[in-house]
Chain A
Amino acid sequence: MQEVRVENLVKRFGDVTAVDSISVEVPKGMLLTLLGPSGCGKTTTLNMIAGFEDPDGGDVFVGNKLISSAEQNILLPAHQRNLGMVFQSYGLWPHLSVRDNVAFGLQMRKVPKSEITPAVERALGLVRLEGLGDRYPSQLSGGQQQRVAFARALVYEPDVLLLDEPLSNLDAALREEMRLELKELQTETGITTIFVTHDQVEAMVMSDVIVVMNHGVIEQMGTPRDIYQYPANQFVAGFVGISNFLNGKIAGNADGNGLTPVTVGGETLLCEITGRAIDSEVALSIRPEDWIATVEPPADNVTNTLKCEVEKAVYMGGVLEIWLKANDQQIRVHGHRLPMLESGTSIYISVDPSLIKIVS
């Protein structure tokens, strides 16, 4: 097990810079997720770490070993990097049994036969596939194939585990189950892991650290909670979870509680904001679930209450998703314990100042 250090990694495809000077550090035993929409450069980054793409710039270290450096012209081939990888389509060899699939990496490492057999059994036990060693991949369910892929990647105890959207081929229920199982597996083995996904929930559940990428650059790096609660910018706020973006202007100075009034389309919201000049423009982000929606007007002392007209409401099971119009701003709100609302009804929504994020 080793830490991974990626420094100023660059990859160009023709005129397009797919990865634009990415630097990331993954401490020993951590699970770091590269999260972003398709085309953001996350898979390309992973492939450069794995040795499937040649970087146009930058270095990759595993522990103290430099495995790839465009500047020093070092490019260790994939098979000499001692990494484990699970692919989106699993990549199980259809002509080999489960046992032979798992044993392959050990055979390549010239491990004696007498040690391979117990190691393979251990790896299959780790992913709860005892007794299925004689099957062929085509005889397994998607979830089982997935586990074989993990056993194959872990059996030779690689320095780092790379995961390329390994759950995206599973159906929703299984995916949810595998997320937790995977995380447990990773914690149990304590293997340094780099995980690539476009699924924010997956990233939230599994990661120690999330790196949000877009257009080949890092938008934000932090713990799942940081990323969700304190999105660094509008892209992150929009990509991770749902957000209402409101454009406003600073309307005055902070009061005694440190709350600054911001006018948003005629209404005024109190926000925790500092160091902005009066009249300067700000973009606010508020999660739909952070609004509290009521049919009756709330008590007078509740801050940031707006009266809005319902445009449409959709029952989503447990939650009522409501599109509202407050002056000219459209706001999406998740209401709980509300009756079905006709469009045109007036309701009241309020939000705690601490839940209003300033994204620019």
Chain B
Amino acid sequence: MFRIPSTVRLLEWGCLLVIGFLVLYPLFWLLLGSVTPNPASPEYTLDAFVAIYNAEYMGEVLRNTAVMSVGVTVLSVMIGVPLAWIVGRTDTPFKDYISMIAIIPFIMPPIVVAVAWSYLGTPKVGFVNLFWKWLADTKEPLFDIFTMEGLIFVMALSLAPYVFIFTVTAFKNMDPTLENAAHISGANQWQTTFRITIPLAGPAILSGALLVFIQSLEIFAIPATIGVSGGIYVFATQLWRMMIGIPPNFSHAAAMAIPILIICGLALWGQTKALGRSAKYTTIGGKSFQPRLIRLGRLKYVALAFAGVYLLVSAILPLLTLIYGTFISNRGRPPTLEFLTFDHLVEMLTGDGGDVIWRSIGNSLFLSFTGATIGIVLAAIVAYFVVRSKWRGRATLDFLALIPVAIPGAVIAIAMMWAYIREPFNLYHTIWIILLAYVTRFLPFGVKAVANAVTQIHEELERAAAVSGANWFTVFWKVLVPLAMPGIVAGWIILFVSMMRELSASIMLFSSNNEVIGTILIQLYDEGLFSHVCILSLIIVILSLGSVALVRWITKQKDVGGLN
């Protein structure tokens, strides 16, 4: 052990104060805001709660939200668990490709899936319905995407990968002895699967499901496109309606945000518990050999088809739609060379609306670059203290840095508005409030990325440096930061991309001149500019794809760096 200079303790306190302020200050004002008629008022009243409780729309919004969230969670489990089982436990071919499901949410953000599916599933001219009408020779569309079922379907497409990721990890880390013990006790393949394998993955499935539940309350893009087009309002879109109403009803929004916050908080608490239990169930003990994969026989084609259909509807069809919209001269034309055009691209970027689009891209780039950089520096310090410090405050720090996961973007936005609209900040309607919202929202992801990297660094490396005479700061800069660099860079990229496509908070906080890509995309969608929407979505997808490739490349380099 080496003596920690007191400046380090100061740094720990400073870090705790900064994070505490960033997270708790807006929440404090959110609470206060819910009992204040408007940001300038000195009175306290419960009017806002009474008003939204009695509001006409409330019953419907509550019902819609409940049906949607539960429906999305159930459907995501029904998609995610079988997919995880196929990849983790069976001899289905092309499993490496099926595994790519795990990166779909990263490549295809909700907003992209939402706009693509609203073009695919419109009853009259949606591509899927057109195809169906041609195939079945009928005038009746197959389905209408602008319904509750459509909303749940598209949401689940977007969120099922979370269930998949948690469950497949549990399946892969399971001690094969547990299954062998069942076999030798007389259980056949299916009895083992249903009585041992799946129950053991239960906590992991639950933790994925709860994350989906939180996300379903948080995602704005899908309810704002598919939901609103169908006249279906849920929490997120209702909050938005309050904020952009004339006049905006800040106190009602704050009052409504509080129950969501509590529900999400409880769900996150449950998720953390479930994750802890999952780790207990699936830690491999002792030496083991690889589990035998279940030979599905002909059933493997069913499994392959299931995975194929999911990949088709969640990624391939939406992507094709975006490409079609970008390069085909008119909606409804067959996708042949004859109708290939670059006019949309040229027009969008140089035409009348071009200025705003360029400005939004510029704003998004500025916000993402600055936000990711500030965020990752904060995250790195937090992650270091959380993983390595023996300081008592580290648990508090860990908890504080996790809180934003449970705060839907819209709620963060409302809290930010209440907190920073006043002296000494006066940030409302500036780009800085968006920056603050981004940094706060995505801090947990940065902390996670760096913490993973720091955990993998043997503490002996630091101790060896300390024993050789390096003081704490030298150890930090010369040993830890270089070794954790791949994690730090990967974390930066994750933050950057998340911020590039952020919508839930931006839509509440943007103002003229401070538009970002997401808000412009929604605006273009509302104006019905099909090709523009496709182009901008495609830009987001390409950016995301590039980042995934970059992160993968960097994390691979890590092995070369002698980390393991």
Q: Which residues of A contact B (CB under 8 A)?
A: 47, 50-52, 77-85, 87-95, 104-105, 108-109, 138, 152-153, 156, 162, 169
Contact = CB atoms under 8 A, between A and B. Distances in A.
B12 interface: no
A79 B281 contact: no
B177 A109 contact: no
Interface stretch (B18-26, B135-143, B181-189): B181-189
B207 to A, nearest CB: 15
Contacts of A93: 178, 181-182, 196, 200
B180 interface: yes
Given A94-B200, A94-B280, A95-B200, A89 B286 contact: yes
Contacts of A162: 184
A86 B186 CA distance: 14
Given A52-B180, A52-B292, A91 B175 contact: yes
10 contacts: A78-B180, A79-B186, A79-B187, A91-B178, A94-B281, A104-B195, A105-B185, A108-B191, A153-B184, A162-B184
B249 to A, nearest CB: 48
Contacts of B195: 104
A109 B286 contact: no
A167 to B, nearest CB: 12
Give the 9 A-B residue pairs with the shortest CB-CB distance, closest first. Answer: A91-B177, A108-B186, A89-B286, A105-B185, A91-B181, A78-B183, A89-B285, A85-B184, A87-B177
B393 interface: no
B281 to A, nearest CB: 5
Contacts of A87: 177, 180-181
Nearest to B188: A79
Contact of B181 (A80, A85, A95): A85
Contacts of A77: 183, 188
B199 interface: yes
B287 interface: yes
Interface residues of B, number: 27
A97 to B, nearest CB: 13
Pick the most buried of B182, B191, B292: most chain A CB atoms within 10 A of its CB: B182
A4 to B, nearest CB: 15
Interface string B282-309: 0001111100100000000000000000
B177 A105 contact: no
Given A93-B196, A94-B280, A104 B288 contact: no
A108 to B, nearest CB: 4
B288 A89 contact: yes
B202 interface: yes
Nearest to B181: A91
Interface in B163-178: 175, 177-178
Nearest to B187: A108
Nearest to A81: B184
Contacts of A83: 184
B185 A95 contact: no
A109 B200 contact: no
Contact of B180 (A82, A91, A108, A156): A91
Contacts of A51: 183-184
Nearest to A103: B185
Contacts of A169: 286
Contacts of B175: 89, 91
Nearest to B200: A95
B281 A95 contact: yes
A79 B281 CA distance: 23
Interface string B358-388: 0000000000000000000000000000000
Interface string B436-461: 00000000000000000000000000
B177 A95 contact: no
B287 A88 contact: yes
Contacts of A92: 181
A77 B48 CA distance: 66
Contacts of B286: 88-89, 169
Contacts of B192: 79
Interface string B191-205: 110011001101000
B197 to A, nearest CB: 10
Contacts of A138: 280
A259 to B, nearest CB: 48
A42 to B, nearest CB: 13
Nearest to A54: B292
Given A89-B288, A138-B280, A79 B181 contact: no
A88 B287 CA distance: 8
Nearest to A94: B281
A152 B285 contact: no
Contacts of A47: 289
B90 to A, nearest CB: 16
Contacts of B285: 89
Contacts of B202: 95
Pick the most buried of B184, B200, B289: most chain A CB atoms within 10 A of its CB: B184
A340 to B, nearest CB: 37
A182 B286 CA distance: 21
A218 B203 CA distance: 46
Given A89-B288, A108-B191, A156 B185 contact: yes
A153 B192 CA distance: 16
Contacts of B288: 89
A152 B186 CA distance: 12
B346 to A, nearest CB: 59
Given A77-B183, A152-B185, 20 more contacts: A47-B289, A51-B183, A51-B184, A79-B185, A79-B192, A87-B180, A88-B177, A89-B175, A89-B177, A89-B286, A89-B288, A91-B177, A91-B178, A94-B281, A104-B195, A108-B186, A138-B280, A153-B184, A153-B185, A162-B184
A89 to B, nearest CB: 4
Pick the most buried of A47, A77, A91: most chain B CB atoms within 10 A of its CB: A91
A357 B184 CA distance: 43
Contacts of A89: 175, 177, 285-286, 288
Contacts of B292: 52
Nearest to B199: A95
B181 to A, nearest CB: 4
Contacts of B185: 79, 84, 104-105, 108, 152-153, 156
A108 B287 CA distance: 27
A152 B177 CA distance: 14
Contact of A109 (B180, B182, B186, B281): B186
A92 B281 CA distance: 10
Contacts of B280: 94, 138
Contacts of B177: 87-91
A90 B292 CA distance: 19
Nearest to B201: A95
B5 to A, nearest CB: 41
A93 B198 CA distance: 12
Nearest to A38: B287
A104 B182 contact: yes
A50 B185 CA distance: 11
A77 to B, nearest CB: 7
Contacts of B178: 91, 93
Nearest to A101: B181
Nearest to A109: B186
A43 B73 CA distance: 44
Contacts of A94: 200, 280-281
Contacts of A109: 186
Interface in B254-304: 280-281, 285-289, 292
Nearest to A162: B184
B223 to A, nearest CB: 37
A83 B181 CA distance: 10
Contacts of A88: 177, 286-287
Contacts of A108: 185-187, 191
Contacts of B191: 79, 108
Interface string B29-69: 00000000000000000000000000000000000000000
